Amino acid sequence: MDCFNYPLDTKTLRRKRAKIYRELSEKPGLIEKKVAVLGGSTTNDVVDMLSIFLLNHGIKASFYQSEYGQYWQDAMFGSPELDAMNPDIIYIHTSWRNITDFPQMDMDKSTVDDLLENQYQHFEAMWTALEEKFHCPIIQNNFDRPNYRLMGNRDIWDYRGRSNFISRLNQRFYDYANNHTGFYINDIDYLAQDYGLSQWNDAKYWHMYKCAMNMDAIPYVAQSVASIIKSIYGRNKKVLALDLDNTLWGGIVGDDGVEGIAIGPEVPAGQVYAEFQSYCKNLKDIGVVLAIDSKNDEANAIAGLNHPDGILRPDDFVSIKANWNPKDLNLSQMASELTLGVDSFVFADDNPAEREIVHSQLGVETPAMDGAENYIKVLDHGGYFEVTNFSGEDMKKTQMYHAKAEAKKAQAAFADYGQYLDSLDMTAYITGFEPIMIQRVAQLTNKSNQFNLTTLRCSEDDIRQMQDGGKHICMAGKLVDKFADNGIVTVVAGEIEGSIVDIKLWLMSCRVLKRGMEDLMMNEFVSRCKEKGVGKIVAHYYPTAKNSMVKDFYGDYGFTLENEDEAGNRTYSINVADYEQKPVHINL
């Protein structure tokens, strides 16, 4: 829905909230999550807005809210309701109003330092308690700027200034975030500035409603929290598909020629587009994949992308569709080539008519790219590519997709598929869930949808517990071939009960589909079962909207179908002794 895109239509969001909630709740394929909101102010409105923003990302949340202002008590001493809920995510909604002690003008530096430490410890003790009890991600607001600056400009740099004190306290929060996975800052300091600090701090809302900020700003707060949550659960967008003419440069390359388009330092219009190209290039560094979807002759498109003053080059894109086909058709083709869902795309085009077609045909997000000077702002405020976990793999995404395309081409040249696989010089490394891999393994369980038998989503703690608990066979597989190091691409975990192992988790990244990696993993899994004295393997397939490709996975390995319920949930089993090793083309 358009009201969710920047600039937010806060009027509609408020007015039609009940209706929007009702409609979005009926969408198929929603995942359910339990969210505890621990507030230092009124949180009802935050929860109301958060619920529809999350639904818009396909997440149906049930909420716990602490009693007014009881965030700290709930965390430290528990509440029966909160404990019973056992939340998936905790959001701590505090603001500068919750700082209980500020520096006074007659205090010396070390007194203020002690004060800061006290205020900080109040929070850290709470995070520790929550972490120990619930082992789930925590989202914590930082502090916004306060309602006045007693010393004027001096307030921000003098240790006695409230502004300075808050800035230092925030820095302590960030240090904690840097040292703790599963802890995320919701940057209301930025939101307040972006909204306009005087409006944000309109005191009426605090004194009348005990609402920490202007109620009109709450949709922005909810959008921000929802962006973090959806990112944690693997619902980020992955691909930015871009138009060319008047999107990546000014003018029309087919009409104006390469010399005639506006890009580069010479004129203001050229500078605006160059800055936008730089922004897109930076997106690549956080793992966003770029593509072109443009009505153009391909030769003109490539020529435009090779403009000497341009920043982006043809090989920055994993796919360039420059032709005269409808753009929605190009986009869905691109999606299937990259083995991604169209819901992983954001489509950026200056032409509202093209946006409308792509949006109505495919439901793809199409931010309102009106005015080249607004492009960066519109995309950046959309929260499409919110980074929560960042791994080295993310920086190499484009390279990996390129390698995949190369591999597809190479494949065409071989008559026999086995010969082709041999030519890839593949080497696999199979290990348990080593500490260094935990983040990536958890990320995969949350991101993989297609080649995923049980769609079991795991936090980093869940993964750690499997590895350390001694009850699981844990396997992570990394695959290197002559084109690229694909990194960890497959994760398997089975729980041992006596002489039976139950496969709780079996997933693989689609980027290594049809390489035989799954055969190797199965061979290895069975070997490990033998080592552990396991006689029988039980396995499951739980259908989702996206994983039908692995419906018959276990059947293909000779497992017997024991049971299938009405929803299509299947249970399989096999005696370890009956398993026949599959031939593979990968070195171990």
Residues at the contact surface with another protein, assessed by CB under 8 A: 10-11, 14-16, 18-19, 22, 42, 44-45, 48, 204, 207-209, 211, 215-216
Shortest CB 20 distance to another protein, Å: 10
Residues facing 59 on adjacent strands: 31
Report the distance separating Cα 396 and Cα 488, nearest Å. 13
Shortest CB 37 distance to another protein, Å: 14
Peptide bond into 28 cis (omega under 30): no
Shortest CB 326 distance to another protein, Å: 37
- CB nearer to another protein: pick between 67 and 266: 67
- CB nearer to another protein: pick between 18 and 267: 18
- CB nearer to another protein: pick between 46 and 335: 46
Shortest CB 53 distance to another protein, Å: 16
- CB nearer to another protein: pick between 21 and 390: 21
Shortest CB 308 distance to another protein, Å: 50
- CB nearer to another protein: pick between 14 and 281: 14
Instruction: Identify the CA nearest to 428 among candidates 313, 354, 350, 522.
Output: 522
Report the distance separating Cα 554 and Cα 577, nearest Å. 16
DSSP string, 352-414: HHHHHHHHHHH--B-----SGGGHHHHHHHHTTT--SS--HHHHTHHHHHHHHHHHHHHHHT-
- CB nearer to another protein: pick between 62 and 199: 199
Please give the single-letter amino acid code of residue 304: G
Query: What is the Cα 322 distance to its own chain's centre?
Result: 29
Cβ atoms within 10 A of the Cβ of 448, count? 21
- CB proximity list for 445: less than 8 A, separation 6 or greater: 456, 457, 458, 463, 491, 505, 507
Cβ atoms within 10 A of the Cβ of 325, count? 13
- CB nearer to another protein: pick between 56 and 119: 56
- CB nearer to another protein: pick between 2 and 422: 2
Shortest CB 52 distance to another protein, Å: 13
For residue 586, the 8-state DSSP code is -
Max Cα separation, the chain? 84
Shortest CB 89 distance to another protein, Å: 23
- CB nearer to another protein: pick between 219 and 251: 219
Contact 575, 529 (CB under 8 A): no
Shortest CB 377 distance to another protein, Å: 23
- Phi, psi (deg, nearest 5) at residue 319: -155, 135
Report the distance separating Cα 373 and Cα 279, nearest Å. 12
CA-based end-to-end distance of the chain? 49
Shortest CB 211 distance to another protein, Å: 7
- CB nearer to another protein: pick between 217 and 576: 217
Shortest CB 165 distance to another protein, Å: 29
Helices 298-305 + 253-260 axis angle, to 10: 30
Helices 17-25 + 44-56 axis angle, to 10: 40
